[in-house]
Amino acid sequence: MENTKDPAKDTGTNPAASSTAAAPSAAAPTLLPNGKTPEAYRKELELRKLEIDVEKGEFDLDNLYRRAAEASADSVFVYNFFEAVRESSVADCIDTLSKWSRLAPGANITLILNTPGGLVKEGLALYDYLTILKMAGHKLTVVALGRAASMGSILLQAGDQRLIGPNAFVLLHEVSAGTVGKVSEMQESIEFSARLQNKLIKILASKSKLTEKQIRSRWKKTDYWLDAEEAVREGFADRVLGTDPTDADYVRFSHPIKRKKSKKDKKSEGTDQPE
């Protein structure tokens, strides 16, 4: 007799269910020929690439320092200080010169000045830093172009060599200051301004052919302007720029600084102010 029963009904299951039940619970991981999973191998490659990038960066940095050290004897780093002497301009200048000093120890540095002057204490901070650079083995040349006015005349004196453009001027004058408050407070402010002025006079007298008494006499209640020849004659500069064939080396490479001036910056320009 022919069997008309459906096998699926006899077992209480369907073929699809049986097939699913017979499948393994989890597929075995796929391994690459090196015995690693694709995910593990990908992570290994990413790590190796990162190590290579780090090694390349270290090599490039070492190579940069090596080339800078080899060239430092003949290199001239030039910084253009074409603005007023104030906190921001002095901070930027010191920051850049500090990087150059670390990059090329002992390299020649040129500071080109074209400044109306500015704040006394900030200017003295830069003057002292330039002195430190010279103590560290750098030869410092300061070049006055246009004008080295007020505090700029002090910064000019920081150079091992002081050059002045044939059409440039140096301005010397007394410290400008303003004070408000009680009489005793104003007197204290005036005394402090006088102390700052004494420091400036000592710097100028030590670098020039004039005595402190002569400087006080010449700039009292007036602006004492000197052209290039006068500045050299009085000892505020060593020589006029362009009188030696090697002068081009001092201005060959420049580091221009472009900065938008604030209202406070514009207000401070042109005066030697204690604050």
Contacts of residue 11, defined as CB under 8 A and 6 or more positions apart, other chains included, come to: 18
Helix (H, G, I), strand (E, B) or coil at 181: coil
Percentage of the chain surpassing pLDDT 90? 49
Q: Which of 72, 89, 101, 150 is catalytic?
A: 150
| pLDDT score recorded for residue 241 | 92
Q: Which of 75, 89, 153, 173 is catalytic?
A: 173
- Going from N- to C-terminal start, the domains of the chain cover 32-71, 73-268
Domain 73-268 has CATH 3.90.226.10: yes
| pLDDT score recorded for residue 244 | 82
User: In this structure, are residues 171 and 117 in contact, taking their beta carbons and an 8 Å threshold?
Assistant: yes
Q: Find the distance separating the first CA and the last CA of the chain, reported in whole Å.
A: 120
**Whole-number Cα distances in Å, 268 to 118, 170, 225:** 6, 19, 20
Confidence check: pLDDT of 50 > 70: yes
User: In this structure, are residues 125 and 206 in contact, taking their beta carbons and an 8 Å threshold?
Assistant: no
| pLDDT score recorded for residue 264 | 54
Between 272 and 49, the higher pLDDT residue? 49
Is 255 among the residues known to form the active site?
no
Q: Residue 145 is inside which H or E element, if any?
A: strand 140-149
**Span of 4-8, 84-88, 222-226 with lowest mean pLDDT:** 4-8
pLDDT digits (tens, 9 = 90+) for 180-220: 777 777 787 778 888 999 999 999 999 999 999 999 999 98
Q: Are strands 108-115 and 140-149 parallel, antiparallel or unpaired?
A: parallel
Between 252 and 69, the higher pLDDT residue? 252
In 3D, which of 226, 117, 227 has the Cα closest to residue 174? 117
C-alpha 73/C-alpha 116 separation (Å) is 33
| pLDDT score recorded for residue 68 | 56
Helix (H, G, I), strand (E, B) or coil at 125: helix
| pLDDT score recorded for residue 96 | 94
Q: Which whole number is the average pLDDT over 34-41?
A: 78
Q: Are strands 161-164 and 76-81 parallel, antiparallel or unpaired?
A: unpaired
C-alpha 116/C-alpha 144 separation (Å) is 11
Is 206 among the residues known to form the active site?
no
Between 73 and 100, the higher pLDDT residue? 100
Confidence check: pLDDT of 27 > 70: no
Q: Which whole number is the average pLDDT over 72-90?
A: 85
DSSP character string of 46-112 = HHHHHHHHHHHHHHHHHHHHHHHHHHTTT-EEEEEE-S-BSHHHHHHHHHHHHHHHHHSTT-EEEEE
